[in-house]
Structure 1
Amino acid sequence: MTDTLLIGLYALAAGAVVGTAGALALRILRKSSILTHIVVLLTVTVLAVAAGVTAVAKAMFLSGHDLRVVLITVCAAALVSLAAGVFFGRRLAASAVWAQQARDRERHLEAGRRELVAWVSHDLRTPLAGMRAMAEALEDGVVADWATVAEYHRRIRVETDRMTRLVDDLFELSRINAGALRLIPTIVPLREVVSDAIAGVAPLAATKKITLVAAESGWPTVHAGERELARVVTNLLVNSVRYTPADGTVHIDAGRGRDGVWLTVSDTCGGIPDADLDRVFDIAFRGERARTPDSGGSGTGGGLGLAIVRGLVEAHGGRVGVRNIGHGCRFEVRLPAG
């Protein structure tokens, strides 16, 4: 019993010395990665075992050969433990990084949602207040001449259309974010989709005296959802027309590359600040301080147009980007080969 107690005390003392050194090492390396901490802990454990075995062997007067056998066995086990620790440590570190990225992404999305609610509330409240005032004026007979009544009716219709587009955009974005978007891919002639989009945006472009130019040839077909692809092209054209000054030009082109189909929309908007390039496709980002919708109805409302573009393109397995060129910028959509 006395020998067993002495063996335990020898092992405990040797382990305590190594453990103290390990605690100091961890304190020094407290700002290091999780993998480093795991390696240090495993190393301290192995060294504590080796120190305890050595102390006990010396106290028991084991031969040098027996001590070497024991230490070789401990070292072999230590190598296996360290290898397993490094493997799982890397996975744990990767999981920690992924979790942090997920938290950062969730905070970013939550901030975007709060901003979106604030901006959409403003975009709904402003036209509703104007429509209410005009409706009360018509109801109370404050305006009676035919021209003013007709103008009030026109403005109520315009604001109603604007709010309808805003609600449609919110619904589309909610489907994308909820994963409820169901694509029905077909073989779509890109030329026809672009022609229809240009026809729909032409009246808006005409009010700003902006020229819409489409490439004459080289239009490929693409395997995609026709409705969703039309929404992508229309939103890109509307965005370019909205930010291009009067007498500007918006050019659209497409083609087929080795990795799929590409489509570009270039304008003469004057370029996008470098600090905003990475935020262009964020929800509710407009790149302007003014929150009042323009009278031409060019905006999609709430800064949702480009966010919808990114969601629809990524739903097709593609990607979308933007860069400055000359006196404007170029939006480029790439879709994988069908």
Structure 2
Amino acid sequence: MIEPSESFGEMLTHVWHILPLALAFALPVAAVGGLVLYWLRRGSLATTLTVLVLIPMLATFAGVLGISGFMFTPALTTMLLVCFLVAVVTVPAAIVLGRAIARRSVWEREARERERAGEAARRDLVAWMSHDLRSPLAGIRAMAEALADGIVAQPREVSAYAHRISGETARLSDMVNDLFELSRITAGALRLTMSAVPLCEVISDALEAQTAVAERKKVHVRTAAHDWPVVSGSDPELARIVRNLVSNAIRHTPPDGTVEVHVGIDGNNAVVSVADGCGGIPEDEIGRVFEVAYRGTQARTPDHSGTTGGGLGLAIAKGLVEAHRGRIDVRNQGAGCRFEVRLPLAA
């Protein structure tokens, strides 16, 4: 049996002797690594994890070199080789892990932002609809009480009150229908019956439905088409898209203004554009026009002309366009803005 060359006590004394020297070489490396990590605090997570893996390894290299007096003995060479092999394995793993964590962090952050945006949209929707529903309900109640109390007794006045009650009831019905449609879209419960639909018929029916409103506001509606394409879609939902866009254009165009509906083909898409004379949308608001219940700073208080909706028309149009695998955009143009819808052509 071979006797050890030194006792345990002597070995412990030797360790305590070299420990300060190892710390003297390793701590500066660790400090520099900490500064590098602080400098990279806003960098990519993969880079940060890579540096975090390299710091203890480089500190170990420095400590071992320091206590060896930079004498490259076989034992030191073996240890450095082992550390190098560990670095070859751990650094790529740190890069891959950092990228995976970064992707997950981005996804979680986006999910939280979507959740916050959805919650804010729901609050705005409740606030807007509470305000908009209260107005026609108050009018209906006041007119019904006047009729019931006999305050209005002349046949002509009774007929006028009945007509106004009918109009307010229609507004309420439209709001409820909008809410139902929007709930179907946001819940993913919308089911489209796809077929080949001629846009000529869709646009003709939608414009006819808005004729009375346009005449009442003295707004001219014009249609121009280079081609009348046939698209793949659901007829009622396509008509709803065009009707909502035209209704929105008429609502925001001043009397004697013009709303223009253009139809054409661009590659594999049919293009339907609706241009109005609203005076343009502020740049800080143009990205929000498709948000639920958002109607801009110039339309905070609904009018009673029968053309004001609940602020859901554009949100519904966007949802229906996307359900058709299409795209809808808006931009300022001339004296107003231009809404453009792209829908895939029928095969």
TM-score calculated relative to the size of structure 1: 0.90
Is structure 2 residue 187 aligned with structure 1 residue 178?
Answer: yes
Is the 1:18–1:47 Cα contact (8 Å) retained in structure 2? yes
Equivalents in 1 of 2:39, 2:163: separation in Å?
Answer: 73
Match of 2:246 among 237, 241, 250: 237
Matched residue, 1:40: 51
* Range with bigger deviation, 242-251 or 100-109: 100-109
Q: Pairwise mapping of residues 37-76 of structure 1 onto structure 2 (< 5 A)?
A: 37-51=48-62, 53-54=64-65, 58=68, 64-76=73-85
Is the 2:207–2:243 Cα contact (8 Å) retained in structure 1? yes
For residue 292 of structure 1, report the CA deviation from its aligned partner: 3.8
SS at structure 2 position matched to 1:215: strand
| Matched positions, count | 335
* Range with bigger deviation, 40-49 or 186-195: 40-49
Matched residue, 2:330: 322
Is the 2:225–2:263 Cα contact (8 Å) retained in structure 1? no
* TM-superposition CA deviations, 1:279-332 (whole Å, max 9, x none): 11111111135544322211222x100011111111122111111111121100
Matched residue, 1:151: 160
Matched residue, 1:248: 257
Equivalents in 1 of 2:154, 2:330: separation in Å?
Answer: 49
Matched residue, 2:304: 295
Cα RMSD, aligned residues only: 2.5
Unaligned runs of 5+ in 1: none
The structure that has the greater radius of gyration is 2
Q: Pairwise mapping of residues 79-90 of structure 1 onto structure 2 (< 5 A)?
A: 79-90=88-99
Match of 2:37 among 26, 36, 43: 26
Equivalents in 2 of 1:67, 1:208: separation in Å?
Answer: 91
Is structure 2 residue 333 aligned with structure 1 residue 336?
Answer: no
SS at structure 1 position matched to 2:340: strand
Query: Taking structure 1 as reference, are residues 289 and 213 closer, same or farther at Cα in structure 2, changes over 3 Å only?
Result: closer
* TM-superposition CA deviations, 1:68-116 (whole Å, max 9, x none): 3432332232133212212221232232223223322322222222111
Is structure 2 residue 282 aligned with structure 1 residue 267?
Answer: no
SS at structure 2 position matched to 1:222: strand
Query: Taking structure 1 as reference, are residues 3 and 336 closer, same or farther at Cα in structure 2, changes over 3 Å only?
Result: farther
For residue 217 of structure 1, report the CA deviation from its aligned partner: 4.5
Equivalents in 1 of 2:71, 2:206: separation in Å?
Answer: 89
Matched residue, 2:110: 101
AA aligned to 1:225 is S
Unaligned runs of 5+ in 2: 1-7
For residue 12 of structure 1, report the CA deviation from its aligned partner: 7.5
* TM-superposition CA deviations, 1:26-53 (whole Å, max 9, x none): 3454454433431221111322343455
Match of 1:160 among 156, 166, 169: 169
Matched residue, 1:304: 312
Query: Taking structure 1 as reference, are residues 31 and 256 closer, same or farther at Cα in structure 2, changes over 3 Å only?
Result: closer
Matched residue, 1:204: 213
* Range with bigger deviation, 2-11 or 288-297: 2-11
SS at structure 2 position matched to 1:300: coil
AA aligned to 1:153 is A
AA aligned to 2:240 is R
TM-score calculated relative to the size of structure 2: 0.87
* TM-superposition CA deviations, 1:224-277 (whole Å, max 9, x none): 121111110100000000001111111112222224221111122222222211
Equivalents in 2 of 1:3, 1:62: separation in Å?
Answer: 23
Equivalents in 1 of 2:246, 2:109: separation in Å?
Answer: 37
Equivalents in 2 of 1:82, 1:311: separation in Å?
Answer: 46
Query: Taking structure 1 as reference, are residues 3 and 131 closer, same or farther at Cα in structure 2, changes over 3 Å only?
Result: farther
